[in-house]
Amino acid sequence: MNTTKNKSLRSYNTFHIEQSVETFIEINHENELLKLIKDKNTFSKPIYILGGGSNILLTKNLEGILLHNRLKGIEIINEEDEHVFVKFHSGEIWHECVLWSIKHHLAGIENLSLIPGTIGAAPIQNIGAYGVELKDVFHQLEAIHLQSGNRKIFNRIECQFAYRNSLFKTTEYKNYFITHVVLKLNKTPKYKIDYGDIRKTIDEDFQGEINIQNIAQAVINIRKSKLPDPAEIGNAGSFFKNPVITEAHFLQLQNNYSSIPHYPADNGVKVPAAWLIEQCGWKGYRKNNFGVHPKQALVLVNYDNASGDEIWNLSQQIIESVSQRFNIQLEREVNVW
């Protein structure tokens, strides 16, 4: 367990925002976490849990303690006729878990290739892409309560998964440190290739041969062609959620925008946030060292030494313009600290 005072977080967030934290603690084993919890004075100040730093926007120096999740390990814990249950330690990098699954001929998460972050953060956000969400393969997770030290196992229902949301985004359950995630992966693939350009990319790059390896690589190729590499341009991927509106609201919009893209969703119609933002003229916008990526309107970028406040203010301007034009309130997908 390594502890550092007044630690710079620039290299620990994919926006590359320069902020610091009062106390930075690297957690390499859950026993280290339990030892901290036994000291009742440890968590008397605010607590932050950091994985890959790919879904946060830092707007200030952080007071209190930041726990950097470095728990590593992957193991098969059960096997059935059609499924294999795999236990991933929560500090494992998500994309590495996808590659591990493909290497072991286990299907279900190939469409989620190249999503940044750790597997411990995946259920918090209920990550998703190209017709697949984490909840589709989720079995259970184990977490430690940071005040009591008690362990608790949460099943799929208890996690209350929703679109880019879960129980762990609520105030009470933010006090849990997720240590393990168990996924129920398929021995026999159930291909989902009719989302985005997956089928087209497989046809062009792999002569139409469909398997989990080619699907994963197709997704990787698509993402690389549309999304900036955080190692080169600071960003946190999709900054906004795709809004779900009522059918009546959608029909009103369709009268004025006949080509408005849309998808069926629970309790309404999902409209791509990128389309809404682009219609408002923000795609490719740049001011000083920050802006909106020219290839993907959902991605706000830090070109060089922008502040978190500058990114935040830009996101607020985008929200207001979309609201005024479409009467739709965009929600931020990133966590703002």
- pLDDT band at residue 65, thresholds of 50, 70 and 90? very high
**pLDDT at residue number 43:** 77
- Looking at the chain, the domain(s) classified CATH 3.30.43.10 span 2-69
**pLDDT at residue number 266:** 83
Q: Is 164 a catalytic residue?
A: yes
Name the token pair of 234: 């600071």
Under CATH, to which class is 74-186 assigned?
Answer: alpha beta
- Looking at the chain, the domain(s) classified CATH 3.30.465.10 span 74-186
Nearest to 164 by CA among 307, 297, 334: 334
pLDDT tens digits along 140-192:
999 999 989 999 999 999 999 998 999 999 988 889 999 999 999 999 999 99
- pLDDT band at residue 44, thresholds of 50, 70 and 90? confident
Instruction: Indicate whether this model's pTM tops 0.85.
Output: yes
Q: Is 333 a catalytic residue?
A: yes
**CATH 3.30.43.10 fits domain 2-69:** yes
Q: Is 238 a catalytic residue?
A: yes
Catalytic residue among 92, 110, 142, 333: 333
**pLDDT at residue number 271:** 96
Residue 42 reports pLDDT greater than 80: no
| Lowest model confidence (mean pLDDT) among 3-7, 84-88, 262-266, 290-294 | 262-266
Render the burial of 150-159: b for 16+ CB within 10 Å, e for the rest.
eeeebebeeb
The total number of residues written for the chain in this structure: 337
Residue 178 carries which side chain, given as an amino acid letter? I
For 84, 128, 131, 141, 150, the CA distances from 137, given in Å and listed in that order, are 11, 11, 13, 12, 26
Q: What is the average pLDDT value for the chain, to the nearest integer?
A: 95
Contact 16, 39 (CB under 8 A): no
Under CATH, to which class is 234-336 assigned?
Answer: alpha beta
Catalytic residue among 92, 113, 142, 164: 164
Over residues 113-125, the mean pLDDT reads: 96
**pLDDT at residue number 39:** 82
CA distance 106 to 190: 11
**pLDDT at residue number 302:** 98
Catalytic residue among 54, 113, 166, 238: 238
CB proximity list for 254: less than 8 A, separation 6 or greater: 260, 262
pLDDT tens digits along 220-273:
999 999 899 999 999 999 999 999 999 999 999 999 999 999 988 888 999 999
- Looking at the chain, the domain(s) classified CATH 3.90.78.10 span 234-336
CA distance 194 to 56: 30
Over residues 41-50, the mean pLDDT reads: 86
Q: What percent of the chain has pLDDT over 70?
A: 100
